[in-house]
């Protein structure tokens, strides 16, 4: 793993390991040695492993590890039987002789020890609890993202299909856990009470020994699961492509910088950074929104209050919506991993392809309102922002993971910060005491 990617992975995982997942984007394979396994990936692989091992565990418990006992019964047939010692099992014939009416039969049976099964139920309960948390969180991410993935293009349709497949994967994991429980229920024909105690004696067959090595990863996943998955996944795992990891990294820095200026985010922004959506920030009774990967279409009004024009669809990475003199205004940030000037300058297209649904008024005449700024972020080794037009409506913020300097981004956000507070409170900047 190259140092650039390694730093992205480290920073994103420090914020939330979910930001390493591909989500709606293309993937790359990297070594799990660097701790690149996201918590959701780890849990789903853990469930797959235990559910897949369940039939072998049950089969071995019934055969190799079963306790063999003898069941004694009384039978009217002497076949494979011995004389009974009970007097009631004999009767006299006509000649007054005692003849056996019932014989004693001994049948070997295998008695199942339910203690290992109770421990299995305990492990399934741990996975069920973890899945419910992931499921609740991820489905909210998916539902929020579906609201922003409007449009008739093939890209929009593919994104919606990907989101629905993600939900199906969670449903599949739930079904596997339910099937595993049903398998145990069929073995004993009654509900097993979970037990956290390691069964003693512990079954010595191969599948149960494998489970014992794996159990630590279920019980203490944060400590043990990455090393287990390193072996289970043959040392490689899929994560999002580098450009998308860089985009999310820029988004994390964007939100953290706003928070350093006193803006408050009441909800976890991870879902929006992962799959797209809205992050709302508040300060001094003023609200601004960061729309992450909004998809603007000429055929649908976007909930941000802006719409696409001139082209069928457009898809900036970050649209920051603030109070303005005529309602709302927008600032756009669109990261790129290239230093190419033409590509960075191309971000200015959003100044012409996006406009507010509501009109502004100039001298009593309705006019179109476009975004105020459309900038790029790029991994440049410069200590200040680069302006690319005479009015500063477009430019580049240097944001390099290996040479991170917060001042350029802070200076760019300070302009938005002051603009939002000025128009949101109706006060001039010079009179604001809460900057």
Reply yes or no on whether the pLDDT at 149 is more than 70: no
Q: Report the distance separating Cα 338 and Cα 240, nearest Å.
A: 17
Beta-bridge mates of residue 300:
297
Closest among 295, 270, 344 to 39, alpha carbons compared = 270
Work out the angle at residue 23's Cα, subtended by the Cα atoms of residues 228 and 406, and round it to the nearest 5 degrees.
95
Who wins on pLDDT, 112 or 266?
Answer: 266
What is the rounded CA–CA span in Å between residue 42 and residue 228?
A: 9
- Per-residue pLDDT tens digits for 407-420: 999 999 999 999 99
Residue with tokens 């040695």: 33
What DSSP string runs through 174-233?
HHHHHHHHHHHHHHHSSPPPP--SPPSSPP-SHHHHHHHHHHHHHHSHHHHHHHHHHHHT
> Between 433 and 44, whose confidence is greater?
44
Helix (H) or strand (E) holding 147, with range, is: helix 115-148
Nearest to 369 by CA among 322, 331, 329, 321: 329
Task: Give 334 or 72, the one with higher predicted confidence.
Answer: 334
- Asked which of 67-71, 175-179, 247-251, 352-356 is least confident by mean pLDDT, the reply is 67-71
**Helix spans in 236-287 (H):** 242-260, 270-275
Residue 218 confidence (pLDDT) above 90: no
* Most confident segment among 19-33, 44-58, 100-114, 295-309: 44-58
Answer yes or no: are the C-beta atoms of 76 and 101 closer than 8 Å.
yes
Query: What are the residue boundaries of the structural domains of the chain, listed by start?
Result: 38-63+114-232, 243-427
Interaxial angle between packed helices 154-188 and 115-148, expressed in degrees from 0 to 180 and rounded to the nearest 10: 160
CA angle 129, 133, 139 (to 5 degrees): 135
Q: What is the mean pLDDT of the chain?
A: 85
Region of 9 on the Ramachandran plot (φ > 0 left; ψ -120 to 50 alpha; else beta) = alpha
**Tokens, residue 2:** 């190259």
Q: 333: part of which helix (H) or strand (E)?
A: strand 327-335
pTM of this prediction?
0.77
Per-residue pLDDT tens for 73-96? 778 888 878 888 787 878 888 787
The radius of gyration computed from the CA coordinates of the chain, to the nearest angstrom, equals 33
Residue 60 clears pLDDT 90, i.e. is over it: no
Q: Which two tokens stand for residue 241?
A: 């492509």
What is the pLDDT confidence band of residue 359, given thresholds at 50, 70 and 90? confident
Helix (H, G, I), strand (E, B) or coil at 113: coil
d(CA 358, CA 328): 9
The token pair at 201 is 């004696």
What average pLDDT does range 296-300 have in this prediction?
A: 78
Question: In the structure encoding, which two tokens stand for residue 418, read together?
Answer: 């002051």
């Amino acid at each position: 793993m190259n140092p650039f990617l390694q730093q992205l992975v480290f920073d994103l995982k420090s914020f939330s390991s979910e930001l390493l997942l591909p989500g709606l984007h293309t993937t790359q394979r990297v070594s799990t040695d660097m701790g690149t396994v996201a918590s959701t990936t780890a849990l789903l692989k853990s469930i797959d492993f235990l559910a897949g091992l369940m039939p072998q565990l049950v089969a071995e418990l019934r055969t190799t590890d079963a306790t063999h006992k003898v069941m004694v019964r009384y039978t009217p047939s002497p076949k494979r039987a011995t004389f009974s010692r009970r007097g009631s099992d004999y009767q006299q014939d006509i000649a007054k002789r005692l003849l056996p009416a019932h014989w004693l039969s001994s049948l070997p049976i295998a008695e199942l020890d339910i203690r290992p099964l109770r421990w299995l139920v305990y492990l399934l309960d741990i996975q069920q609890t973890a899945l419910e948390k992931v499921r609740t969180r991820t489905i909210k991410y998916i539902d929020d993202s579906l609201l922003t993935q409007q449009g008739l293009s093939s890209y929009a349709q593919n994104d919606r299909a990907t989101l629905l497949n993600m939900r199906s994967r969670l449903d599949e994991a739930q079904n596997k856990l339910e099937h595993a429980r049903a398998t145990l229920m069929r073995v004993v024909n009654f509900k097993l009470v979970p037990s956290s105690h390691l069964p003693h004696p512990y079954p010595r067959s191969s599948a149960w020994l494998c489970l014992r090595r794996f159990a630590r990863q279920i019980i203490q996943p944060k400590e043990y699961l990455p090393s287990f998955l390193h072996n289970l996944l043959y040392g490689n795992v899929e994560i999002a492509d580098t450009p998308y990891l860089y985009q999310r990294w820029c988004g994390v820095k964007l939100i953290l910088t706003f928070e350093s200026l006193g803006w408050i985010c009441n909800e976890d922004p991870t879902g929006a950074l992962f799959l797209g959506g809205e992050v709302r920030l508040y300060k001094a009774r003023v609200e601004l929104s960061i729309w992450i990967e909004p998809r603007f279409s000429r055929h649908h009004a976007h909930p941000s209050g802006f719409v696409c024009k001139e082209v069928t669809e457009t898809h900036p990475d970050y649209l920051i919506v603030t109070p303005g003199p005529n309602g709302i205004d927008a600032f756009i940030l669109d990261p790129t991993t290239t230093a190419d000037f033409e590509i960075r300058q191309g971000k200015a297209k959003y100044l012409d392809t996006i406009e507010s649904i509501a009109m502004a008024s100039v001298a009593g005449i309705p006019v179109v309102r476009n975004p105020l700024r459309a900038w790029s972020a790029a991994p440049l080794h410069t200590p200040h922002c680069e302006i690319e037009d005479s009015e500063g409506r477009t430019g580049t913020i240097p944001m390099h993971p290996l040479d991170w300097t917060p001042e350029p981004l802070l200076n760019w956000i300070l302009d938005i910060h002051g603009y939002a507070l000025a128009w949101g409170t109706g006060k001039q900047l010079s009179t604001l005491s809460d900057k």
